[in-house]
Amino acid sequence: MNNRFFTLVLSVALSSTSFITTAKEFVASYDGFYDRMKVVNKGEYTQAKVGFYLIERTSGENCILSEGHIITEKQEFPLSFSDKTELLLPFDEKLDKDKAMVVAYTKNPKHECQLVMQIEAFTGNDTSISKSELFETYRELDNLIDDLSGFILSTVFGFLMPDMVGVTIVFDQPVNLLSKSDNSIKCENTRCTITMNSDWDSNTDKLKFSVAPSKIIPYIEK
């Protein structure tokens, strides 16, 4: 199973909560976001998190957002989002109890926008990462997949549970691996895919890249 299909499964699962997409407006119930953020908070993760993105359904490109709001029956709050169209939602029990709605407006989308949930971990601005650090990130991402699978994957596509075998390091521009490589590391364009080895758990050797990574996501076995 590849990363694309795994993301699709998560997207479909999240969309089972109430949401509507039109040419320029996206509307979703806050509770679907809250339930997933609650899993992350209970796990006390230091690196792994869940990111929520609006992506054009056909092209896979980021939808450009102009503004957004979080609305309850009595109040309205601004919705923050990143330049990568990640919805930066607060973890707020009161918004959940007040049945808040999330509304985002897009700028001239070429295609319909869909919500995608991505399990990911962010890195610092360093161009080098030790193997032991990557192993710890891999372990957190794998644990988060397990924690989320109880009410996402098992209820939607339980028979297609993915097998995480490593991590994919994502960069904002084409990257080269500058340190010694082996068969477990494959870099192409803006991504380096690493099949994880348990020996990395205590290995302090560093992987050096030509640019700093932007985030790390699960590598799912095909």
221 vs 67: CA distance, rounded Å: 37
Query: Residue 10 — pLDDT band, cuts 50, 70, 90?
Result: very low
Give the model confidence (pLDDT) of 117-126 as tens digits: 899 998 888 9
The pTM assigned to this predicted structure is 0.82
pLDDT number for residue 43: 87
Arithmetic mean of pLDDT over the chain:
83
Q: Which residues pair with 54 in a beta bridge?
A: 115
Question: Which band of pLDDT confidence, cut at 50, 70 and 90, is reported for residue 152?
Answer: low
Other C-beta atoms closer than 10 Å to the C-beta of 173 total 10
- Which has the minimum average pLDDT: 14-18, 158-162, 183-187? 14-18
* Average pLDDT estimate for 120-136: 92
pLDDT in tens, 87-115: 999 999 999 999 999 999 888 666 678 88
Residue pLDDT, tens place only, 173-209: 999 999 988 889 999 999 999 999 899 999 999 999 9
